[in-house]
Structure 1
Amino acid sequence: MCLPNKVTIDHDDLRIEELVAVARYHAQLELADEVKARIVHGRSLVERFVFEERVVYGITTGVGDNARVKISTADSKELQKNLIMSHACGVGEPLAQEQVRAIIMMMIQSLSQGYSGVRLETVEALVSLLNHEITPLVPKEGSLGYLSHQAHISLVLLGMGEAICDGRQMSGREALHSCGLEPIELFEKEGLSLINGTVDMTALGALAVYDAINLLKTADIVSMISFEALKGTYRAYDPRIARVKRHPGIQKTIENIQQLIKGSEIAERFKDYRTQDALSIRSIPQIHGASKDVVAFVREVIEREINSASDNPLVFDEHGGVAISSANCHGESVAMAMDMLAMAITEISNVSERRIFRLVSPQYSGHPAFLVDKSGVHSGYMIPQYTAAALVSDNKVLSHPASVDSIPTTAGQEDHVSMGTSAALKAVKVIGNTENVLGIEWMCSSQALEFMQPLKPGVGTAAAYHLFRQHVPPLEQDRVLSPDIRQAADLIRSGKLVGLIEEEIGELQV
């Protein structure tokens, strides 16, 4: 997929691909003049509230259970800085740099809606972090759905915390100065707005959806190599089947299958080899298709959230200006969607492992045991199936929904939280596991194709087989297999496999 090298936040909705372009591929980011104008206008409303000494949550009051405490105008700036410092209490290993960049991108997008009331200078400071390649060091664990990730990012804006710049870890202040930037001072409401909203779970979710789409295409490709290697019958993929099972994902999967095995001598030779295949082969359209339908829904949810205002309170230019304290910062929609995504991708790994099992089992494959000659002396691909089984088992545990859990916080003021960030991080882990499982299936199915020669595979499956063989030779005797699995997973994760196949047969449907 071709991604832009420059992204502009303007009046149009931001797409997942644009967020990924900035977060993962370091596209430059800019704000359109119209966006700058609405940020400035939103700020003018907050300044009016301060001047008129209105009672507004987070501006002239404390936050959380401290909302009952009135804050003077003089103390408001101190409150904003204190919010950043006190909320920066994440733990564990740091997030990946692309994940931090995605969260920063979502912070900018959320504040650019004009309903938060922050200053333009503050939003532009976040843009500078991205464009100058300054990535705050952000602990992964400790977010219920907002606050801690954004707080660690915001520390760097203040010249505090730690960051990665020019490949080195340094203090936030040093990182800013190395790029000719200065720390900023926070004004009324800005500290609250920087840490509020659903931006972290949405950013992680956007990356996850992008990678899930790549995985769905990969699963179709790799499963068809297994289909050929297991002498499957293509009659189960007749387009008439999809016409009477009214789920769009099934139709899309069958369309992909038809293109992938087009011209396959193997498929033609064995079309009547069995009356019907095992469900891990026969039901590929139904299983992959169901996951496609779920991912399509999740994408819709994430893109709606990307383009929503999720701060609290939100300011509106009506009746002399009004600040509404609400719960748009609650991430239930994203949390449920991320739980669904984890389940959908777990099923992709689940059925993939079943095909791996059949490939390495001679009673099902008709090939030498564990896909290697002299299998008594050589273990062949026996143990990679163990690895796949372990990863799939982990995925099943990770598919337990986070969104059905809630632990009250803030002295009961936040007595129900979404756990959306936990749900998103689980989905990310499931996707990583599944990339490895599909890599193992690709490795085993390519090895099994060696025993199908001289019959030729389909145009799409042949391209996938040859790509793998450019990097990994056939297994003739035992060797260390971890590098082979890693190579396969890297080719999947990078999109090189899908990119090559789509060059050969056209865009795959998801």
Structure 2
Amino acid sequence: MVHSRIELDGTSLTCDLVTRAARADVMIAISADGRKRAREAWSAVRRVAERRPVYGRTTGVGANRAVEVEWEDADAHGLRLMRSHAAGAGPLVRAEVVRAMLVVRANQIAAGGSGVDPGVLTALADALNLGVLPPVPVYGAIGTGDLTALASTALCLIGERSWLGHDSETFPDASVAPRFPLSSADALAFMSSNAATLGEAALAVTDLQTALDASVVVAALSLLAVRGSREPYAPAVHRAQPAQAEVAAAMRTLLAYEDDTPARIQDPYGYRAFPQVHAPAMEAARHAETTVARVVNSAAENPMVDVTDAVNAADAEVWHNGNFHTAGTGLALDAARLALFQAGALSAARLGTLTEPSFTGLRPFQADVEAASGIMILEYVAHSALADVRRQAAPAALGSAVLSRGVEEHAGFATQSARATGEAVAAYRIGLACELVAAVRALRMQGRAPSGGPLRAAFDRAAAVLPDGVADRPLDADIAIADDLVPVLARLLPAE
């Protein structure tokens, strides 16, 4: 059963919508305006190509950009491009990433800058609605266009390569598999896109914001468990810093029903500096989301067909450009991962306090008897996950490459940045899950619970599914359950 419908119009796609389209049972449609823009660009680029060279249509590509395609070879030229560029390697990327790529590419074409035959929009929507995918290997892009992924998609569209089903096996019914006869002239126009990188980035920043929202709720539970002070969240402390003020206000709302006397005049950084560390991560995540959303709704092709500024159809122009380069996206994601590591380090620090009798009033490691290990292993798991966040935080933008006989002499590796961001968020959530397990267990052993409001709702949701035994036992299931709770807790974050 399809639960909702997402219409791609080339102007209003968000990271959240990309994520829903990639993960949920939704119907994908193309708006009339999007089809109109694509049709106008398609008509325009053919007229321009009759009067002057257009890269990839009437010329070779890369170092062959100055080589004109002879008219008698025109039909074979595009097919050679599709075949030669479909050369990715390694394991296939996750199905949700490929779906996100198809959504983004359809939306980009609907933005009206590619010049691709608008009929391909129907074929892309059909692929998404049928649940079929092109085979897309991990290795092949460096942030300057996802040529290998989209060449593979193009070969599926023209029938030279088989679509895959949900289980990564060949789609069983070839008779209903999407087909579209991409013309030779449209080959590069279809492939010249960063849709795979942007699709993966959209998934990553959506998950990042969810994890960061949940973190505020988990931190509030931990503060309650250690009887921490709420002074660090006073409005006066954060007057000059709007993002810090937002985090502090959420903490005050979450803790508004509590009247415990603080156990200390001043708490460790995990609580006292929480707004100062968490706010930059939230700001970085929002900047990354804004950056990705802006690009998925823009004409990011080379060459770009411009019908917007034309007085009439005959005045349309084609601009050779570098919009395929996702430097801004990669830098935004790099910054977000660095900030995420800082937030993860603070979560691990709070977890450390939850093992200490001086903070919880319980035995060491919240053990049920002397010399038992209790939650000792959670710290190891959290720091193991944090080490991966730290490893993934290395800026991908520090790399570069010189390709195609030196004419393509720069790369930002935004593709790798997007992949690293998704992996870093997954590792961060494991550490956060460990903190949640420890905070809920401490409150249970203390015989306490939040007094009301969204924090009580969060505790009740967690306590309803987390095992309540405190004798030494495997805690892997507890961590997995807590990880699944992250989206649930994120929705309980008080609105600003």
The residue correspondences of 1:186-201 to structure 2 (distance < 5 A) are: 186-201=182-197
2: CA distance, partners of 1:10 / 1:184: 20
Deviations 1:204-261 (A, max 9, x none): 1111111111111100000111101111011111112121xx2221111112112211
Q: Report the equivalent of 1:354.
A: 349
2: CA distance, partners of 1:383 / 1:87: 48
Percentage of pairs with the same residue: 25
2: CA distance, partners of 1:39 / 1:100: 22
Give the secondary structure class of the aligned counterpart of 2:267: coil
2: CA distance, partners of 1:8 / 1:32: 6
Report if aligned partners of 1:163, 1:171 keep a CA contact under 8 Å in 2. Answer: yes
Deviation at 1:425, TM superposition (A): 0.5
2: CA distance, partners of 1:216 / 1:121: 41
The residue correspondences of 1:46-445 to structure 2 (distance < 5 A) are: 46-50=45-49, 52=50, 54-145=52-143, 146-165=146-165, 167-171=166-170, 174=172, 176-177=174-175, 180-181=176-177, 183-243=179-239, 246-264=240-258, 268-271=259-262, 273-317=263-307, 318=310, 320-376=315-371, 378-445=372-439
Deviations 1:86-127 (A, max 9, x none): 222222332221111111111111111112111011222111
Deviation at 1:157, TM superposition (A): 1.4
Q: Report the equivalent of 1:489.
A: 483
Deviation at 1:458, TM superposition (A): 4.7
Deviates more, 1:315-324 or 1:101-110: 315-324
Q: Is 1:473 equivalent to 2:467 in the alignment?
A: yes
Over 3 Å counting, the alpha-carbon distance change for 1:236 and 1:169 in structure 2 is closer
Aligned AA for 2:127? L
Over 3 Å counting, the alpha-carbon distance change for 1:182 and 1:255 in structure 2 is closer
Report if aligned partners of 1:163, 1:175 keep a CA contact under 8 Å in 2. Answer: no
Over 3 Å counting, the alpha-carbon distance change for 1:341 and 1:155 in structure 2 is farther
Over 3 Å counting, the alpha-carbon distance change for 1:357 and 1:327 in structure 2 is same
Deviations 1:378-400 (A, max 9, x none): 32111121011011112112111
Deviations 1:477-508 (A, max 9, x none): 1222111111111221xx22333x25xxxx43
Q: Report the equivalent of 1:508.
A: 495
Aligned length: 488
Report if aligned partners of 1:4, 1:21 keep a CA contact under 8 Å in 2. Answer: no
Over 3 Å counting, the alpha-carbon distance change for 1:498 and 1:361 in structure 2 is same
Aligned AA for 2:89? V
Unmatched runs of 5 consecutive residues or more in structure 1: none
Report if aligned partners of 2:147, 2:192 keep a CA contact under 8 Å in 1. Answer: yes
Deviations 1:260-288 (A, max 9, x none): 11212xxx2233x2111001111111111
Give the secondary structure class of the aligned counterpart of 2:270: helix
TM norm structure 2? 0.93
Deviation at 1:18, TM superposition (A): 2.1
Report if aligned partners of 2:341, 2:389 keep a CA contact under 8 Å in 1. Answer: yes
Over 3 Å counting, the alpha-carbon distance change for 1:261 and 1:369 in structure 2 is same
Report if aligned partners of 2:443, 2:449 keep a CA contact under 8 Å in 1. Answer: no
Over 3 Å counting, the alpha-carbon distance change for 1:456 and 1:489 in structure 2 is closer
The residue correspondences of 1:11-26 to structure 2 (distance < 5 A) are: 12-26=11-25
Deviations 1:359-394 (A, max 9, x none): 113344432111111242x32111121011011112
2: CA distance, partners of 1:253 / 1:332: 30
Give the secondary structure class of the aligned counterpart of 1:164: coil
Deviation at 1:34, TM superposition (A): 2.0
1: CA distance, partners of 2:26 / 2:137: 24
Deviations 1:460-489 (A, max 9, x none): 332222212221222321222111111111
Q: Report the equivalent of 1:498.
A: 490
Give the secondary structure class of the aligned counterpart of 1:451: helix
Aligned AA for 2:458? A
Deviations 1:142-195 (A, max 9, x none): 311221222233332122445432x444436x5542xx2453222144221222
2: CA distance, partners of 1:72 / 1:321: 24
2: CA distance, partners of 1:240 / 1:48: 63
Aligned AA for 1:275? I
Give the secondary structure class of the aligned counterpart of 1:407: coil
Over 3 Å counting, the alpha-carbon distance change for 1:388 and 1:114 in structure 2 is same
Aligned AA for 2:350? R
Over 3 Å counting, the alpha-carbon distance change for 1:455 and 1:6 in structure 2 is closer
Deviation at 1:197, TM superposition (A): 2.2
2: CA distance, partners of 1:162 / 1:343: 40
2: CA distance, partners of 1:456 / 1:23: 36
Over 3 Å counting, the alpha-carbon distance change for 1:54 and 1:168 in structure 2 is same
2: CA distance, partners of 1:235 / 1:6: 46
Aligned AA for 2:31? A
Deviations 1:50-101 (A, max 9, x none): 4x26321100111111112211234333222222222222223322211111
Over 3 Å counting, the alpha-carbon distance change for 1:354 and 1:163 in structure 2 is farther
Aligned AA for 1:13? S
Report if aligned partners of 2:450, 2:459 keep a CA contact under 8 Å in 1. Answer: no
1: CA distance, partners of 2:15 / 2:118: 24
Q: Report the equivalent of 1:37.
A: 36
Over 3 Å counting, the alpha-carbon distance change for 1:432 and 1:257 in structure 2 is same
Report if aligned partners of 1:372, 1:475 keep a CA contact under 8 Å in 2. Answer: no
Deviation at 1:344, TM superposition (A): 2.1
TM norm structure 1? 0.90
Deviations 1:337-374 (A, max 9, x none): 11112112222211111111121133444321111112
1: CA distance, partners of 2:47 / 2:448: 79
2: CA distance, partners of 1:226 / 1:411: 57
Deviation at 1:4, TM superposition (A): 8.1
Over 3 Å counting, the alpha-carbon distance change for 1:447 and 1:89 in structure 2 is same
